[in-house]
């Protein structure tokens, strides 16, 4: 996820560690409570004021998304535990989104709580309210606390509160599809002038010519022997079952869960058009699947790209061809540990610690499983793209 999609935006100053720790020990005079449905308007206003990407959506859109995500019939959903903090006059001055999900580890059911959106007013930040929100979250009953796509400041705070980095889940990749157009776009962001349309036209022409003469970075070709099948909730459930034996810790999905996630992702249009496809060989055996946002002349953000073991190259080739055919100039995604030493690292630009995946658990065994890459955790289980 890039900087415009930073889910943990709180601008904290963490230079005085001792002061921070002492403050967290004090009695909390300002209450932190579960989100109530009447708080949604205040949370949306707070988010739109302090989080740039929230301003890219209309207020009524954010209100509906938050209502659908956290509430049903006016009550919090069983898997939702979002928190708000209040000032002395009772006004909402901070928010932390929390969704829990059940995973399986052998015969055990493991509860993983994902915090995904931390925001607070300037006054609340001076009072270290984001720390209190995180502290309350981390003290919850879940087996594993999890945060995806976090900034450096939040990562430091997380460590102070007893958490740790998940190194293997904190590597991102960028795949150039149209390098000349990509370079031109970066140049124009840094140098706003009248060269825009002319430079883009030249870059587009260069990409086209280079593709015709088959320069590797520019040339994309559909691979034979692979069939693209529309990915629906039932097919996704089947594919997940086939993937489960290769992981020790695996999320529990049923078709209704998948349908809700697809509906949530389909409703997001800021990052382009959502594409979901399963990849099959000519014998109707699964190769893998991908879920990503295609954006013509822009960055294509990958939510999930998974292959059966040993099929990573076919997944990579299919994903890059598909995004190229949709007009994208670059693919951006988070690496799965199983994709190390595959084209996802050898034919892309790797960005370690571009943003951090964070974890906290008192179970040493679970921590080892996650740190060793034996847990199935993708952006679909982590990042939320709706707020």
Shared domain check, 159 and 29: yes
Q: Looking at the domain assignment, is residue 43 inside a domain? A: yes
Whether 134 contacts 28, CB under 8 Å:
no
Shared domain check, 158 and 26: yes
Q: Looking at the domain assignment, is residue 28 inside a domain? A: yes
Which one has a higher pLDDT value, 26 or 233? 233
pTM beyond cutoff 0.75: yes
Q: What is the pLDDT of residues 214-261, one digit of tens each?
A: 555 555 666 678 999 999 999 999 999 999 999 999 999 989 889 988
Helix (H) or strand (E) holding 368: helix 364-371
Whether 217 contacts 183, CB under 8 Å:
no
The confidence score (pLDDT) of residue 205 equals 46
Last residue of a domain, one of 137, 168, 199: 168
Residues 6+ apart with CB under 8 A from 55: 48
Domain that holds residue 343: 172-177+220-352
Shared domain check, 224 and 84: no
Shared domain check, 154 and 41: yes
Radius of gyration of the chain (CA): 22
Q: Looking at the domain assignment, is residue 206 inside a domain? A: no
Shared domain check, 60 and 159: yes
Q: How confident is the model at residue 321 (pLDDT cuts 50, 70, 90)?
A: very high
Q: Looking at the domain assignment, is residue 328 inside a domain? A: yes
The confidence score (pLDDT) of residue 52 equals 81
Shared domain check, 287 and 154: no
d(CA 288, CA 265): 19
Q: Looking at the domain assignment, is residue 364 inside a domain? A: no
Query: In total, how many domains does the chain have?
Result: 2
Whether 369 contacts 166, CB under 8 Å:
no
Q: In the numeric block, which tokens belong to residue 316?
A: 């990579």
CB atoms within 10 A of CB 371: 17
The confidence score (pLDDT) of residue 31 equals 87
Q: Looking at the domain assignment, is residue 116 inside a domain? A: yes
Shared domain check, 162 and 225: no
Q: In the numeric block, which tokens belong to residue 25?
A: 């020990």
Mean pLDDT of 152-157: 85
Q: Looking at the domain assignment, is residue 233 inside a domain? A: yes
Q: Is the pLDDT of residue 272 over 90?
A: yes
Shared domain check, 239 and 115: no
- Mean residue pLDDT of the chain comes to 84
Q: Which CATH number is 237's domain given?
A: 3.40.630.30
Shared domain check, 228 and 135: no
HSE-CB of 182 using CA atoms within 13 angstroms: 18
Q: Looking at the domain assignment, is residue 191 inside a domain? A: no
* DSSP assignment letter at 169: G
């Amino acid at each position: 996820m890039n900087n415009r999609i930073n889910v943990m935006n709180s601008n904290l100053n963490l230079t005085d560690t001792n002061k921070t720790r002492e403050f967290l020990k004090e009695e909390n005079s300002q209450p932190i409570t579960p989100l109530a449905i009447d708080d949604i308007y205040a949370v949306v206003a707070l988010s739109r004021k302090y989080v740039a990407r929230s301003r890219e959506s209309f207020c009524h859109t954010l209100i509906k998304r938050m209502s659908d995500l956290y509430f049903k019939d006016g009550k919090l959903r069983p898997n939702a535990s979002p928190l708000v903090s209040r000032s002395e006059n009772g006004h909402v001055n901070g928010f932390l989104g929390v969704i829990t999900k059940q995973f399986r580890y052998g015969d055990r059911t493991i509860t993983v709580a994902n915090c995904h959106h931390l925001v607070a007013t300037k006054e609340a930040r001076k009072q270290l309210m984001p720390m209190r929100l995180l502290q309350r979250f981390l003290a919850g009953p879940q087996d594993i606390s999890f945060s995806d796509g976090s900034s450096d400041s939040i990562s430091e705070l997380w460590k102070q509160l007893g958490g740790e980095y998940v190194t293997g889940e904190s590597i991102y990749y960028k795949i150039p599809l149209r390098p000349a157009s990509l370079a031109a776009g970066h140049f124009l962001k840094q140098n706003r002038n009248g060269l825009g349309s002319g430079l883009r036209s030249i870059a587009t022409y260069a990409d086209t010519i280079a593709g015709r003469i088959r320069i590797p970075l520019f040339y994309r070709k559909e691979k034979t022997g692979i069939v693209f099948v529309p990915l629906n909730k039932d097919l996704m459930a089947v594919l997940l079952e086939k993937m489960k034996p290769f992981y020790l810790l695996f999320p529990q999905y049923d078709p209704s869960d998948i349908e809700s996630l697809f509906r949530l992702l389909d409703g997001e249009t800021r990052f382009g058009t959502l594409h979901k496809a399963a990849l099959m060989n000519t014998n109707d055996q699964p190769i893998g699947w991908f879920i990503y946002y295609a954006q013509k002349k822009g960055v294509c953000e990958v939510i999930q790209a998974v292959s059966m073991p040993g099929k990573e190259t076919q997944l990579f080739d299919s994903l890059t061809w598909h995004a190229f055919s949709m007009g994208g100039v670059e693919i951006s995604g988070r690496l799965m540990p199983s994709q190390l030493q595959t084209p996802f690292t050898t034919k892309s630009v790797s960005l370690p610690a571009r943003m951090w995946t964070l974890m906290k658990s008192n179970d040493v065994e679970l921590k080892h499983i996650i740190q060793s890459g034996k847990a199935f955790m993708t952006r679909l289980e982590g990042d939320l793209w709706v707020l």
